[in-house]
Amino acid sequence: MSFSDIPVDVGPVYEGERIRSNQMYVELGGPKIEKHFELVKVRNVKDIEDGKVTLYGPDLKDMEEGSRHPIGILVEVAGKELEEDLEAVFERRIHEFINFINGVMHLNQRYTNWMRISKTAIGKGFNSFNMMGTVLIRLFKAELPIIKTCQVTFYTNVKDIEKPYKLALDTYSNRDERARGLHDGDVDMFYGCVLCQSFAPTHVCCITPDRTSLCGSINWFDARAAAKVDPKGPLFEIPPQECKNEMAGEYVGINETMKKRSLGEIEKIYLYSGMEYPHTSCGCFEAIDFFIPEVNGHGIIDRNADSLAINGLAFSAMANQTGGGKQLAGFNGISLQYIPSPKFQQYDAKKIGLDRGIDLVVWMNSGLKERMKELLPKDIIDKIATEKEVNDINNLKEWLKKNNHPIVKTWVETEEVEDNEEDYEEQGAMIPLGTQTMTIPGTGGFGGFKLILKNCKIHADTIIIKKIDTKKKKSN
């Protein structure tokens, strides 16, 4: 396959290239544009004109430097062995293939896709969607030989994107609805995906009926179809084998695969926990489930949130901490489809005496709550705060009490534990593990201070406790 007719280099070496705002010529899609999408549809051979690229709206060369535009990418493919279940998996390859182009950065998927074209690429003559479409068609046919013919259509203006955008949303919603009807206990095979290892080398997605991939674009049916047609490809079977802990979702077969595919970095995962051995997070996750220690509950913020989370952090700030293939207790990259699953963080909930994982959730950004409204149990939805009701953690506690959120009953239990601890201290008994109280004398003031660490794990190379010499400070 040759790209000698394309004025910039094309190859996997350019995956991971970042284009900062000062290097960017033009931005397509992304959080500041309302409607954008990418979609793959399987068609009949007779309905496809192989190699054809069509554009509705302005071309790259007609766009002003520094401007932003809608972007719709519709890839239509045909081939005797193709089936509809493969569409989502093919669609995820758009991200990979566009990132092969030197000077083009592609992020996210579905209706959150976001691209930047660099000034350097435009300067070299990469100034037409026809070139981008040609690269996509060649790569789709070369990398996925079951695709025999392929055509690509781009939409770059507000008017023309309307109809295909609706088609895309309906397609995503049908895929998600089908997946919601199936649960982990109904199947005897799970699937893995390592497509994101070019960005996050230790990340392996484990895709089960209850846990759609973090990017939200590959559900269990899609993964099954992909592993069937290309068993040596980036999606593969994971035989679950023995279940070691049903509540946590710990399986021998998943642990073995994680260890092998993460090159020994990840020893085990709990599918249904964000707090202990959580699933790794790459960077493409649709949302972040984060622990809020002050109320013992969880918050969820999605990629489209336009306000800060209740902990004062933006999605992007938390995403930097969460992603990269790490396994970080308390920060878990998730798909939106995992939230309504009955398995959602069930291990964390049961551990603190709640019936359902969703009862842990005390805060969501308002856009996400609106999207989830119809999918979540009716008795919890009004008890979840958003940025519209509460804007800081101090107010959140009162709001949850007022709305009788189930998390509140876990505070009562904590208060009871505190009383017991005082009894233990008076009797000189050992404090139960997991709730440690330390008094550090001589650190300033009278009698030092008391640290109470409840249900927490701290990992630190060094802790430095410095005495502040108040007299010295005054004399300065």
Which parts of this chain interact with ligand SF4 (CB under 6 A)?
92, 193-196, 205, 213-215, 217-218, 282, 284
Which residues lie closer than 8 Å to 212 by C-beta, 6 or more apart?
Answer: 176, 179, 218, 219, 220, 335, 337, 338
Is 456 buried (19+), middle (13-18) or exposed (0-12) by CB count in 10 A? middle
Cβ nearer to ligand SF4, comparing 82 with 195: 195
Q: What is the 3-state secondary structure (H, E, C) of 239-306?
A: CCCCEEECCCCEEHHHHHHHHHHCCCCCCCCCCCCCCCCCCCECCCCCEEEEEECCCCEEEEEECCCC
In the complex, minimum distance from the CB of residue 112 to ligand SF4, in angstroms, rounded to a whole number: 12
Cβ nearer to ligand SF4, comparing 122 with 284: 284
| CA separation for the pair 424, 437 (Å, rounded) | 11
Cβ nearer to ligand SF4, comparing 6 with 207: 207
In the complex, minimum distance from the CB of residue 474 to ligand SF4, in angstroms, rounded to a whole number: 56
| CA separation for the pair 469, 312 (Å, rounded) | 33
Cβ nearer to ligand SF4, comparing 194 with 396: 194
Question: What percent of the residues of the chain are helix, what percent strand, and what percent coil, each to the nearest 5?
Answer: 35, 20, 45
Cβ nearer to ligand SF4, comparing 51 with 233: 233
In the complex, minimum distance from the CB of residue 438 to ligand SF4, in angstroms, rounded to a whole number: 41
Q: Which amino acid is at 253?
A: G
| CA separation for the pair 71, 54 (Å, rounded) | 13
Cβ nearer to ligand SF4, comparing 192 with 297: 192
In the complex, minimum distance from the CB of residue 161 to ligand SF4, in angstroms, rounded to a whole number: 24
In the complex, minimum distance from the CB of residue 277 to ligand SF4, in angstroms, rounded to a whole number: 18
In the complex, minimum distance from the CB of residue 17 to ligand SF4, in angstroms, rounded to a whole number: 18
Query: Which DSSP string do the residues of 102-169 spell out, in sequence order?
Result: TTEEEE--GGG-EEEEEHHHHHTT---HHHHHHHHHHHHHHH-TT--EEEEEEE-SHHHHHHHHHHHH
Radius of gyration in angstroms for the set of CA atoms belonging to the chain, rounded to a whole number: 25
**Do the strands 235-238 and 190-193 form a parallel or antiparallel pair, or are they unpaired?**
antiparallel
Cβ nearer to ligand SF4, comparing 215 with 349: 215
Distances in Å between the alpha carbon of 260 and those of 192, 194, 199, 254, 267? 12, 12, 18, 10, 9
In the complex, minimum distance from the CB of residue 75 to ligand SF4, in angstroms, rounded to a whole number: 16
Ramachandran angles phi, psi of 361, nearest 5°: -80, 115
Cβ nearer to ligand SF4, comparing 213 with 410: 213
Collapsed DSSP state (helix, strand, coil) of residue 396 = helix
Cβ nearer to ligand SF4, comparing 302 with 359: 302
Cβ nearer to ligand SF4, comparing 168 with 282: 282
In the complex, minimum distance from the CB of residue 259 to ligand SF4, in angstroms, rounded to a whole number: 17
Ramachandran angles phi, psi of 336, nearest 5°: -65, -30
| CA separation for the pair 133, 51 (Å, rounded) | 8
Cβ nearer to ligand SF4, comparing 8 with 282: 282
| CA separation for the pair 223, 206 (Å, rounded) | 10
In the complex, minimum distance from the CB of residue 348 to ligand SF4, in angstroms, rounded to a whole number: 22
In the complex, minimum distance from the CB of residue 282 to ligand SF4, in angstroms, rounded to a whole number: 5
> Among the residues of 366-431, which ranges form H helices?
366-372, 378-381, 393-402, 408-427
| CA separation for the pair 204, 214 (Å, rounded) | 10
In the complex, minimum distance from the CB of residue 16 to ligand SF4, in angstroms, rounded to a whole number: 13
Q: Are 86 and 1 in contact (CB under 8 A)?
A: no
